[in-house]
Chain A
């Protein structure tokens, strides 16, 4: 019975809109992304055969195909389970994740199938270090006698676990001081011994501490403090190992007052400290060849030495010097990366930017250890610094190097978040991974296709000239006729299910028949602005945001908000203004505006566009951080920014904008949050001009909402903008419920800290999603109690509707009421709670042109799919009994606590879409259809018609059928009436 009812409910929901298999790729698109790779040593991207392995800032472990850049597989980790380290071995990739490296996972390299998952310690016991993945290391070793691989995992900086291939723990060793004195960070294993190297705190400096364990039993062999006087935080020490035959020799290197010192480790830890005399080094670093005995030492002058530890001779010596590695006016800092060549010999790649050549230079050092020779050669490659910023990390495929540089492959990660694979001096592929962390996105309408008229007012036009012009104007006539004939014959029209992408070869930016093709302008925290074609997801243009004066010291630009200041209907064409906060590396924060033409990405403030494009330079609008920003609904669409002193600053700051702003001032009410420690408040503000205080309008508090102590404000969610089609709802008994449409209605999400400290911080304590549209509030949370709806734990969706007055036919005109009127609180609310099988990560209502269509709720759920919940199911007025005829008239269905989990309501169907935000356009041509753009990690775009596509021809409209029926009916009538008419004629002749 329950099933039947559910089925009925779903059929109600689905009948309005259902996706057909053939629509896939026509009405929607999906871009799978992995995020910008980490660049810290344990998690930086590496080559492994024809794969590139990377762990990213979006907490994804992924394998890319190095040939074409496609994602072979990816594994998305939870936010509370950050990837700390990964390593690869033959056909598998392993990762350590979670606080302190709590979880070990192993994947199949080719398919990404999870082979093993093992928890090494409870995530609650994870210790946090700075940097996050300090004290976490994962080592795979092959046991030749058993012909199996084994894991050595260093977690929490103090414990080592040895696991066999199936994940069974062979032994565990915990440091007796539990990390309070010694923090181990390096793990080196040879067949008999495990070496643990870490730093121990002493007065004013660090010393080294080494512990050796038996590899078979995990018993402590020795634990020794090496008297090292390490002061420099930056480059602490490097542990290298070198293999000679079956034995592995380990050497620890560190800097002491600029002198390089080394200690060769033996299992019993008895040995001498060596020193390399004569040369003063600035820092030493591991560059990927530590298991082969090489590391990098940089001299004080900037020259870089490739150091080699020879295990046979127990000697440490520089084998190559990059003399000109120092950053200067002509060249940037160099990236060094080492890798083993196909012959097992080390290769070192050095990549830097040369200002002299205006190109990036790649230098490869080929080392032949057996002959003791090394040779370097290089080439320049045209790295597009204005499109991709600066190289942040380099990965190098040593096995691709040969006699020539023809096949040399390098993977670059740039500051704008792109991943590029260069083979010699050609870019093979590029992935714009900054799109995985879009901060703000806006839809911008496209202009209509313009019919180019070559006809100018020319009086003295001769006959032939006119003929020529008209002929040239008519050049599209045959095409038009053919199109017309085809349309007439086959009945193929543009329907809502056809692709909005322009099919013509000359790709001009024009809108399609229904306005589904728009530009999505998206800003990322990697300092890049993208213009994306909403019909196919292609990036149309992109601009790198310039840092302005902060370029000298470095900085980051965080997008705050984006406004569409001009649309297609304006003569200037669509324009957007991006409001950002620039955080310079010297900790100064400024508010910077970028004003861009949305169709091309051109800077509006700049008169002449430079070709090739330079960086997009912004306007330093406010010196200091921003408190609030909004756009006035006036003709000029002036942007008002409140700085930290609550002064209102305008953009554009013109006299007309100033005058318009002054006329708006009395009606501006702002709700700002104040962060007084221990007490959170929301303060209402109004603006006033007091020339004694400031030349700008300044906000002063008018009211305050104090929250209980220690209650934190999670989010302030404004009412979703959108036109309101009707102010009331007519009931079955002809009475009307008037919607509570207070324009100042705002949603504030707060959370109190968990009362018990035993509750683990992880696990989504306050994971609440909410949305407010018109008078309808929908929120989602996880209910841990057994009481309430369903008497069970689970995900709850609560739907609340606010109506004016005490009930039907009570009208208070809430939309026009003053906020200070007592009547604003005179409301009645209908509330209903539902349960859902899965949690959700984002929630948004649909938005249509006039707001007439039903509003569905779109949610992104934890199954990585995007789902719509029909309004009908979420109606808080659903009766708990069998609907009466009056209620049936209102199309109310009986209440059922369970929201059906029907696959046909899933908008993203087969796509796996991991996301966290939903964005909707404001301007549409069709009332029935709403566009949905979902971002977060992946990008997904689709159309949804909550009430069915009532304003376009139905998709099963068939012109052939219509024509056939008409013809058939006509023929029949003719055939029937023919004898009658003939008889009539005959009779006429008789009489």
Chain B
């Protein structure tokens, strides 16, 4: 009986001590380029467990939350225009100072992390809220940048420019082109008609071109030039 009474007394004392024991949390906001001073931050509040306890940020960036009983808390900042990281705070009766740990919002709170943050708590503005999206305006360049428009323009240009390009080409290449076209057309025709001869011709033609191409290239180019030059020279004479 006595034992029970002492135990209950002990329990009472323990519970009483846990009520009595409390820690004062202090910290400050680290001003940075995003948020240079109190004027930019405006009225902000630091919350423990979404408002169970809170402290306001004063002009010099400091805040304090007094009489925090032991437990694990999530510390967040309520600011209209800025986002801050969440921080996990552990207050234990055995430690005079609270433990501060980083906490990524949305992850399990009791995940063991070895990383410990300094105390007093330092809170850094992470980003400034941007509420607006830019307006899509009429843009002539943008209009022509769309692929549909580009294809349209390109075909148009090609259609118009084709006759002039044909004219500009020198007659031999034109002939060559025509010949090739004619060949291709005849092959097509033969394939369509199912003529095996045509096919063999195609094969032989392929071989022929393969063999003669480099030679022809090396020959034709300079020779024509020479001929032309020669022609010109003759006239002068």
Query: Is A790 in the interface zone, CB < 8 Å from B?
Result: yes
Partner among A792, A897, A956 whose Cβ is within 8 Å of the Cβ of B74:
A792
Are B80 and A19 closer than 8 Å at their CB atoms? no
Per-residue 0/1 for A23-44: is the Cβ within 8 Å of any B Cβ (1 yes, 0 no)? 0000000000000000000000
**Counting CB contacts under 8 A, is B64 at the interface?**
yes
Identify B78's interface contact among A108, A862, A909, CB under 8 A: A862
Interface membership of B147, Cβ < 8 A? no
0/1 per residue, A838-876, Cβ < 8 Å to B? 110000000000000000000000111100000000000
Residue contact B133 to A791, C-beta cutoff 8 Å: no
Binary per-residue interface labels of chain B (49-61) against chain A in the complex, 1 for a CB within 8 Å, 0 otherwise: 1111111111100
Report whether A20 and B134 are in contact in the complex, using a CB–CB cutoff of 8 Å: yes
Closest B residue to A902 using CB positions: B129
Stretch at the interface among A116-124, A276-284, A297-305: A116-124
B188-199 Cβ-contact flags toward A at 8 Å (1 or 0)? 000000000000
Nearest CB in chain B to that of A909: its residue? B131
Cβ A863 vs Cβ B59 within 8 A? no
A771 and B143 CA atoms in complex are apart in Å by: 45
Kindly state whether residue A367 has any CB partner on chain B within 8 Å.
no
Whether B143 pairs with A115 at a CB distance below 8 angstroms is: no
Rounded to whole Å, the gap between the CB of A632 and the closest CB of chain B is: 43
Closest residue on chain B to residue A119 by CB atoms: B66
A22-B135 in contact given A114-B56, A898-B106 (Cβ < 8 Å): yes
Min CB–CB distance B62 → chain A (angstroms): 9
Are A794 and B74 within 8 A (Cβ)?
A: yes
With the chains together, A108 CA to B136 CA distance in Å? 43
Contact B56 A122 (CB under 8 A): no
Given contacts A75-B43, A782-B49, A903-B130, is CB(A912)–CB(B59) below 8 Å?
no
Contact of A115 among B58, B67, B134 (CB under 8 A): B58
Binary contact track B141-167/A, C-beta < 8 Å → 1, others 0: 001000000000000100100000000
Q: Indicate if B119 sits at the interface (CB-CB under 8 A).
A: no
Chain B residues near A980 (CB-CB < 8 A): none
CB distance from B15 to the nearest CB of A (A): 8
* A793, B49: Cβ atoms closer than 8 Å: yes
Residues of B within 8 A of A78 (CB): 51, 54
- The CA of A39 and the CA of B81, in the complex, are separated in Å by 34
A837–B110 CA distance with the chains assembled, in angstroms = 17
In the bound complex, CA of A795 to CA of B79 (Å): 17
Question: Are A837 and B76 within 8 A (Cβ)?
Answer: yes
Query: Distance in Å from the Cβ of B13 to the closest Cβ of chain A?
Result: 15
Annotate A72-99 by CB proximity to B: 1 below 8 A, 0 otherwise: 0001101000000000000000000000
Give the chain A neighbours of B159 by CB distance below 8 A.
976
Q: How far is the CA of A402 from the CA of B59 in the complex (A)?
A: 39
Residue from A764, A792, A838 within 8 A of B108 (CB atoms): A792
- B31 lies within 8 A of chain A by Cβ: no
Indicate if the CB atoms of A795 and B50 lie closer than 8 Å.
yes
Chain B residues near A976: list those with CB within 8 A. 159
Please measure, in the bound complex, the distance between the C-alpha atom of A198 and the C-alpha atom of B38, giving whole angstroms: 41
In the complex where A113-B39, A903-B130 touch, is A835 in contact with B78 (Cβ < 8 A)?
no
| B107 proximal to A (CB < 8 A) | yes
Alpha-carbon distance A758/B20, docked complex (angstroms) = 12
Q: Measured between alpha carbons, how far is A37 from B80 in the docked complex, in Å?
A: 25
Cβ distance A516 to chain B, nearest Cβ, rounded Å: 20
Contacts of A906 in B (CB 8 A): 129, 131
Residue of A nearest to B49 (CB): A793
Q: Contacts A863-B80, A956-B136; is A786 near B109 (CB within 8 Å)?
A: yes
Residue of B50, B105, B134 touching A782 (CB-CB under 8 A): B50
Inter-chain contact B58/A792, CB cutoff 8 Å: no
Q: Report the Cα distance A2→B107, complex, angstroms.
A: 11
Check A909–B107 contact: CB distance below 8 A: no
List residues 97-135 of chain A with CB under 8 A from any CB of chain B: 105, 108, 111, 113-117, 119, 122
B108 A903 Cβ-Cβ under 8 A: no
Indicate if the CB atoms of B52 and A763 lie closer than 8 Å: yes
Shortest C-beta distance, B113 to chain A (Å), equals 13
Count residues of A near B (Cβ-Cβ below 8 Å): 56
Please tell me which one of the listed residues A113, A839, A901 contacts residue B50 in the complex, with CB atoms under 8 A apart. A839
B50/A790 in contact, CB under 8 A:
no
Q: Per a CB cutoff under 8 Å, which of B59, B63, B132 touches A19?
A: B132
Let me know if B132 and A114 touch, CB within 8 A: no
Q: How far is the CA of A122 from the CA of B54 in the complex (A)?
A: 12
Which one of A18, A108, A837, A904 has the highest number of Cβ atoms from chain B below 10 Å of its Cβ?
A837
Which A residues are CB-close (under 8 A) to B42? 912
Q: Could you say which of A21, A111, A792 has the most chain B C-beta atoms within 10 Å of its C-beta? A: A792
A910 to B81, CA, bound (A): 8
Within 8 A of B (CB), among A902-958: 903-904, 906, 909-910, 912, 955-956, 958
Within 8 A of A (CB), among B23-76: 38-39, 42-43, 49-59, 63-64, 66-67, 72-74, 76
CB closest residue in chain B, given A107: B59
Cα distance, A14 to B129, chains bound together (Å): 15
CB neighbours of A467 from chain B (8 A) = none
Cα A33 to Cα B156 in complex, Å, equals 63
Chain A stretch 461-480: residues in CB contact (< 8 A) with chain B: none
Q: Across the interface, which residues of A come within 8 angstroms of B92, CB to CB?
A: none
From B67, B107, B138, contact of A790 by CB (8 A): B107
Residue of B nearest to A864 (CB): B80
| A948-991 contacts to B (CB < 8 Å) | 955-956, 958, 960-961, 972, 976
Contact among A782, A793, A863 with B109 in the assembled complex (CB-CB below 8 Å): A793
Q: Does A784 contact B (CB under 8 A)?
A: yes
In the assembled complex, which residues on chain B have CB atoms less than 8 Å from the CB atom of A904? 130-133
Q: Is B114 an interface residue (CB 8 A)?
A: no
Mark out the residues of chain B between 94 and 143 whose CB falls within 8 Å of any chain A CB in the assembled complex: 103, 105-110, 129-138, 143
A838 and chain B: residue at smallest CB distance: B78
Q: How far is the CB of A345 from chain B (nearest CB, A)?
A: 36
* Contacting pair B66 A898 (CB below 8 A): no
> Assuming the A-B contacts A116-B58, A117-B58, are A960 and B138 also in contact, with contact meaning beta carbons closer than 8 angstroms in the complex?
yes
B104's nearest neighbour on chain A, judged by CB, is A2
Contacts of A794 in B (CB 8 A): 50, 74, 105
* Contacting residues, chain B, for A909 (C-beta < 8 A): 131-132
B19 contacts chain A at the CB level, 8 A cutoff: yes
Do the beta carbons of B55 and A117 come within 8 Å of each other?
Answer: yes
A796 CB to nearest B CB, Å: 10
Inter-chain contact B59/A835, CB cutoff 8 Å:
no
- What residues of chain A lie closer than 8 Å to B86, measured between beta carbons? 837
Residues of A within 8 A of B133 (CB): 14, 18-20, 904
The reply to whether A898 and B105 contact each other, CB–CB distance below 8 Å, is yes
Chain B hits for A898, CB < 8 A: 105-106
- Are A838 and B80 interface neighbours, CB within 8 A? no
Q: How far is the CA of A387 from the CA of B110 in the complex (A)?
A: 60
Q: Which residue of B lies closest to A767 (CB)?
A: B51
Residues of B close to A791: CB separation below 8 A: 108-110
Contact: B106 with A790, CB < 8 Å?
yes
Contact between A763 and B53, CB atoms less than 8 A apart: yes
The distance in angstroms between the C-alpha atoms of A445 and B158, with both chains bound, is 59
Nearest CB in chain A: distance from B125 CB, A: 14
Q: How far is the CA of A758 from the CA of B12 in the complex (A)?
A: 13
B131 contact set on A, CB distance < 8 A:
19, 903-904, 906, 909-910
Cβ contact within 8 Å between B83 and A901: yes
CA distance A791 to B111 in the complex (A): 9
- In the A-B complex, list the 7 residue pairs whose CB atoms are closest, starting with the nearest: A903-B129, A791-B108, A909-B131, A792-B109, A898-B106, A18-B133, A21-B132
Could you list some 8 contacts between A and B, CB below 8 A?
A20-B135, A21-B132, A763-B52, A786-B109, A838-B78, A863-B79, A898-B106, A956-B137
With A114-B58, A910-B81, A912-B42 already in contact, 12 other A-B pairs whose C-beta atoms are closer than 8 Å: A19-B133, A20-B134, A117-B64, A784-B49, A786-B110, A792-B109, A795-B50, A839-B51, A865-B80, A909-B131, A955-B136, A956-B137
**A interface list, Cβ under 8 A from B:** 2, 14, 18-22, 75-76, 78, 105, 108, 111, 113-117, 119, 122, 758, 763-764, 782, 784, 786, 790-795, 835, 837-839, 862-865, 897-898, 901, 903-904, 906, 909-910, 912, 955-956, 958, 960-961, 972, 976
